Amino acid sequence: MTETPPPDNPALTGHALIQDYVRNLDSSPGVYRMLDQQGAVLYVGKARNLRARVSNYARMTGHSGRIARMIRETASMMFLTTRTETEALLLEQNLIKQLKPRYNVLLRDDKSFPNILVAKSHPFAQIKKHRGAKSEKGDYYGPFASAGAVNRTLNQLQRVFQLRSCTDASFSNRTRPCLLYQIKRCSAPCVDRIGLADYQALVNDAERFLQGKSTRIQAELAAEMAEAAEAMEYERAAALRDRIKALTAVQSVQAINPRGVTEADIIALYMDSGQACVQVFFIRGNQSWGNRDFYPRLGGAESHDEVMQAFLAQFYDGKVPPRMVLLSHGVEDPDLLTQALSEKAGRRVTIGVPQRGEKAELVENALRNARESLARRMSESATQMRLLEGLAEKFDLPAPPRRIEVYDNSHIQGAAAVGGMVVAGPEGWIKNQYRKFNIKGTEITPGDDFGMMREILTRRFARLMKDDPDRQTEAWPDLLLIDGGAGQVSAVHEIMVEMGVEDIPMIGVAKGQDRDHGKEEFHRHGARPFALAMNDPVLYFIQRLRDEAHRWAIGTHRARRTKTTMANPLDEIAGIGPGRKRALLAHFGSAKAVSRAGLADLTAVQGISEPLAQKIVDHFQKG
């Protein structure tokens, strides 16, 4: 992979600049970037032939309004050549996700999807939810659309197959069955209520169910029940009858279960008024494992094929595609995308737009969901925009804010103090922009809310000024909301003056008389406090903003407090991992007993060498 530097001709822009670049390009595949006067990336594209692709932008006519604007704003370009067009496609999507160019289609919600893991590092396999890298030994089933879809499926599996969900440590320490055994959700292998062979048979049945073979399982269970009844093993027959009933109940409540589609992602795109919604349904083992909607950011006036291609390339970056991808619309370059996805999966991946039959019905269902989801979102966005306009009118803002940051902090008498920031905009909550701040200042007096807010805002704006001093990105807020009255507003204003960002509007929300909802007072620096009418929608909107910040800060505080409470002094000693910690606690009974132990007692524990024992003694003596 090589990079082609731009020619040094800063006087040119637009079409003339691009024509100048074309003269120095060859026909290699690669990726190009278009940048504006400030060096911000406007667009990232890939090409089978860089010279041919870029020369299209040099034409004076024939461009859409969006492309024409982009060309006019282009002040420089960058090029990277690759060995193949597939490499260029992958590099393009990496750069789009990293740089977030203004004129590209951008998949904004790219979280990993959960799976079900049948963990097999222990003789008695554990079934559990898993998200992230597939590094643990076992079989993975997924992806599922959401944690809720995984939890529902796990609940069904426990009812039917009674597999354990407890950790290996809990399994090894049990002396009597847990509650799950009492309610018939676990077979209690931890206390030998089931043998290894019988438990393994349950595991095999559960995996066959996840592979879509539930009908065959049901027939086999019915035959076993008949045999048990004939042999007068009525207790075993009753247990098998209960499993058959549970399995029947599961099958009756499952969603769209296609007969002719074993493994596929159903992806439908609906566009309206410059906005788009993509619905993805996951079909695995002839079962629907849920759906997820996405709202990619459009650059403006893109075609369905262009949006679908960009979405697929970004969606499967870091995910293994299924054997079949069924689409509502075609893509710009199906052969290239098929090759890229097949290389990622290590097997053939089929991409198609079905026209009839069950596959077409699945796509039509996904398209209907996409259309309805986008209509709801547009309605909510219109309401949100009216509230933002009302907010600008009530508080004399120059324009409706595009990004509101709301700050709050939480602590108990200064302990486990944290700050929270939530973000809202025209499309509602921007949850991937929420931030938490562990209060680190040693000079802050416990319970000093002013000092905590000073640290939070100082850290926030110092980071912004470092990353984007010219305020070119959308990371800069248009409005700050602070939970507090005149004193808090005055303190925050001093911080903003020190940081050189006093031009950002800031409002303090005080509880008001009797601390009742609806009696809030609003404070701005240099202005008299005022209140809004009790039935004003803007008042309700601000209350929701403040309450969300309060919820986020309290949740963050509780998580930190729990972590502090559950901390073990052995965790602070280098060389003491989970295994050695378990061995020490099993030998001595508690961390306090370990702290009192002598060198000889410590070395008697398996895995504790004399140097490590000395390190443990030194640690506690120092403490």
Q: Which fold has domain 263-375?
A: Nucleotidyltransferase; domain 5 (3.30.420)
What is the mean pLDDT of the segment spanning 168-177?
Answer: 87
Higher per-residue confidence, 412 vs 529: 529
pTM (two decimals): 0.69
The secondary structure of 268-324, three-state, reads EEEEECCEEEEEEEEEECCEEEEEEEECCECCCCCCHHHHHHHHHHHHCCCCCCCCE
Could you read off the pLDDT of 3-47 as tens digits, one per residue? 444 555 556 778 888 988 888 888 999 999 999 888 889 999 999
Region 379-398 average pLDDT: 90
CATH of 2-99, one of 3.40.1440.10, 3.40.50.300, 1.10.150.20, 3.30.420.40: 3.40.1440.10
Q: Which fold has domain 404-564?
A: Nucleotidyltransferase; domain 5 (3.30.420)
At residue 65, φ and ψ (nearest 5 deg) are -60, -40
Q: In this structure, what token pair is assigned to residue 482?
A: 């602070």
What's the CATH code, domain 569-622? Answer: 1.10.150.20
- Reply yes or no on whether the pLDDT at 220 is more than 60: yes
* Helical pair 234-253 and 214-230, crossing angle rounded to 10 deg: 160
Q: Is 90 exceeded by the pLDDT of residue 421?
A: yes
Nearest to 104 by CA among 52, 171, 34, 151: 34
> Which of 292-301, 416-425, 507-516 has the least mean pLDDT?
507-516
**CATH 3.30.420.10 boundaries in the chain:** 263-375
Tokens of residue 478, six digits: 């248009």
- Average of per-residue pLDDT values in the chain: 85
Choice between 610 and 566, residue whose per-residue pLDDT is larger:
610
pLDDT of residue 576: 84
Is the separation of the CB atoms in 149 and 295 below 8 Å?
Answer: no
CB 198 within 8 A of CB 224: no
For the chain, where do the domains classified as CATH 3.40.1440.10 start and end? 2-99
Q: What are phi and psi of 534, to 5 degrees?
A: -60, -30
Total H helices, total E strands in the chain = 20, 19
Q: Given this model, what pLDDT does residue 244 score?
A: 73
- pLDDT classification of 50: cutoffs 50, 70, 90: very high
Range(s) within the chain of domains with CATH label 3.30.420.340: 404-564
pLDDT digits (tens, 9 = 90+) for 254-276: 445 677 888 999 999 999 888 89
User: Span 343-356, mean pLDDT?
Assistant: 92
Distance CA 10, CA 427 (A): 38
